[in-house]
Amino acid sequence: MTDATTVAAAREPGSRAVRTRKLSKRYGRRATAALAVDGLDLEVPYGAVFGFLGPNGCGKTTTIRMLLGLIEASSGEAELLGVPMPGGARTALPRVGALVEGPAFHPYLSGVDNLRRLDAVDRSTDPATVDERIESALDRVGLRPAARKRFRAYSLGMKQRLAIAGALLRPRELLILDEPTNGLDPQGTREVRSLIAQLAADGVTIMLSTHLLSEVEQVCSHVGVMHKGRLVTQSPIEDLRATAVPRVRVETVAAEDAARVLTGAGLDDVVVAAGEVTALLGEHQPEKLVDALVGDGVPVRGFGVVRPDLEDLFVSLTGEGFDVSG
């Protein structure tokens, strides 16, 4: 389903809603300054909810600002909806809704009057249709009942939903949202995530930057992981999960003996640590491994099959933990 606020983009096979090639940014003139964004090859497929994940300071906002033509890239190329940026800004940007640092809303004006002000500064919209476009955007974010309340009386979630309504004042094929749940309370966070899921269900492509792995797991179909200005991986989340191969874990005081039995049974990557042994399960049946261990006299205190979760995968990719709150 589409309405007046979103449009499912027409897609060429292999085309991308966002694509960058070797996109880099160095702030300042000194050639010795570190690259804030370093050689990014980003690919956001049409229809994806793409989680652009990484800790604060890793270059997400800088990337988004380059994509939208708000700052100039030091080198490399970027395309939005198949249109080169920043050269094609006039063609691409009217089809892209963005939330970067949020619009400055007036606390004493109502939601509807704030949107009217916002629309008035956008020269690409038609003033004759402003009322119906605002109504449609407010409807889309579930704020019609509160449309005439003052902005200052809105909850945090309502304020952020109004900001998203501001990005939906005309039909959009792509939404770029920079940390849209940052600073929200749990209720506001739920409201915004549920809105993102609804927009995605309408076919709009969404690129969502976040430092929260849990947010990616809850709302995203794809993820791109940033670390110190570089993209360390990008993939459908299901594909990433599939790379998380299960391991057996044996707790025992006789770790060396257990390792010998597992190796003898044909398991790979047998790793001995204090009081435990782990190995790749492969095609082996856990029950048979327990039999083999016990049959060999290994005193097994614990046995299990563990599958690494996304957090384990990302830690192994970046060497850093992720904020798993929220």
Ligand X SMILES: Nc1ncnc2c1ncn2[C@@H]1O[C@H](COP(=O)(O)OP(=O)(O)OP(=O)(O)O)[C@@H](O)[C@H]1O
CA–CA separation, 29 and 194 (whole Å): 42
Query: Is the Cβ of residue 74 or residue 221 nearer to ligand X in the bound state?
Result: 74
Nearer CB in complex with ligand X: 76/142: 76
Query: Residue for token digits 């506001």?
Result: 188
Cα separation, 40 vs 49, whole angstroms: 19
Q: Which of positions 247-266 make contact with ligand X (CB under 6 A)? A: none
Q: Least CB distance from residue 108 to ligand X, whole Å?
A: 29
Size of the site for ligand X (CB under 6 A): 11
Contacting range for ligand X; rule: CB under 6 A; set: 54-62, 91-99, 109-117, 199-207: 54-62
Q: For residues 207 and 68, give the distance between their C-alpha atoms in angstroms, rounded to a whole number.
A: 12
Query: Please, what is the minimum distance in Å from the beta carbon of residue 60 to ligand X?
Result: 4
With beta carbons less than 8 A apart as the criterion, state whether 160 and 111 touch.
no
Q: By CB under 6 A, is residue 58 in contact with ligand X?
A: yes
Task: Name the residue nearer to ligand X (CB basis): 228 or 241.
Answer: 228
Q: Does 57 bind ligand X (CB under 6 A)?
A: yes
Among 16, 18, 50, 54, binds ligand X (CB under 6 A): 54
* Nearer to ligand X (CB atom), residue 9 or residue 42: 42
Judged by DSSP in three states, 88 sits in: coil
Q: Find the part of the chain contacting ligand X (CB under 6 A) among 60-68, 94-102, 120-128, 155-163.
A: 60-68
State which of positions 139-158 bind ligand X (CB under 6 A): none
Three-state helix/strand/coil letters over 268-303: EEEEEECCEEEEECCCCCHHHHHHHHHHCCCCEEEE
Does residue 51 belong to the site contacting ligand X (CB under 6 A)? Answer: no
Told to check if 227 binds ligand X by CB under 6 A, we report no
Of the residues 6, 62, 114, 205, which one makes contact with ligand X according to CB under 6 A: 62
Distance of CA 18 to the CA centre of its chain: 13
How many whole angstroms separate alpha carbon 274 and alpha carbon 245? 22
Cα dihedral: 216, 219, 221, 224 (round 10): -30
Query: How far is it, in rounded angstroms, from Cα 97 to Cα 172?
Result: 6
Q: Which stretch binds ligand X (CB under 6 A): 51-59, 92-100, 164-172, 250-258?
A: 51-59
* Chain-centre distance for alpha carbon 10: 23
State yes or no: residue 318 binds ligand X (CB under 6 A): no
| Least distance CB 211 / ligand X (angstroms) | 6
Minimum gap (Å) between residue 25 Cβ and ligand X: 8
Backbone angles phi, psi at 110, to 5 degrees: -70, 170
Contacts 24+ apart (CB under 8 A), 230-239: 230/38, 230/39, 230/40, 231/40, 231/41, 231/42, 232/317, 232/318, 233/317, 234/42, 234/43, 237/51, 237/310
- The answer to the question of residue 183 lying near ligand X (CB under 6 A) is no
Q: Which of 6, 20, 24, 61 binds ligand X (CB under 6 A)?
A: 61
Q: Which of 2, 10, 22, 56 binds ligand X (CB under 6 A)?
A: 56
- Is 36 near ligand X (CB under 6 A)? yes
Residues 78 and 207: beta-carbon distance below 8 Å: no
Q: Which stretch binds ligand X (CB under 6 A): 59-67, 75-83, 84-92, 283-291?
A: 59-67
Nearer to ligand X, 56 or 243 (CB): 56
Shortest spacing between CB 247 and ligand X, in angstroms: 32
User: Distance between CA atoms of 95 and 176, rounded to whole angstroms?
Assistant: 11
Residues in CB range of 310: below 8 A, 6 or more apart:
213, 216, 217, 237, 240, 241, 244
Question: Can you give the binding site for ligand X, defined by CB under 6 A?
Answer: 27, 36, 54, 56-62, 179
